[in-house]
Amino acid sequence: MNCNVLIVDDSPILRKAIKKVVKLSGIEEDRIHEAGNGAEALEVLETVWIDLVLLDLNMPVMDGEQFARELRARPDLAGVHVVVVSTEANRDRLARLRELGVNGYLHKPFEPEDLCRLISGVLGVKK
């Protein structure tokens, strides 16, 4: 699948675990990128086109909500899809993220099939 995915999570172990699931959904390994917080994610977006960001919310330096806000303020990155993957379930925060145009939400812990389904749905891929 010719799509680039960026996994943004402050836990290296979780990034690796999510990466495995992303590979299961048909994304090639060299198209999967990683960042440890929102600021690092913005740096990645400066160097490579990303189709889908899998975004944790509670992270040091720059959290997921701030990242989404910065991303949506950039017209040149308007086509980047964002799926939140987080333990955070705060109603107000999730509402703000929906207003920012976040394309999906998955509560951790999750089943790998659920993430695969979300990725396929957001990227418009038939299984």
Partner 1 sequence: MLSEPIQASPEQLASADRCAIIHYSGPSSGTITVRATAGFLRGLAANLLGVEPDEVSDESCAQDAIRELANLLAGSVVVELGGRESTYSLGLPQVVDHQSPAAAGSPASVTCSLDCEGELLNVTWTATQQSKAAA
SS3 label, residue 114: helix
Smallest gap from residue 108 Cβ to partner 1 (A): 6
Please give the residues from 17 up to 76 whose contact with partner 1 meets the rule CB under 8 A: 17, 20, 58-60
Q: Which string of x and - marks every residue 83-122 that binds partner 1 (by CB under 8 A)?
A: ---xxxxxxxxx------------xxx-------------
Going by C-beta distance under 8 Å and a sequence separation of 6 or more, which residues neighbour residue 38? Answer: 8, 59, 61, 62, 63, 64, 66, 67, 70
Choice between 40 and 51, CB closer to partner 1: 40
H-run or E-run covering 34: strand 32-35
Could you list the residues that contact partner 1 (CB under 8 A)?
11-14, 16-17, 20, 58-60, 86-94, 107-109
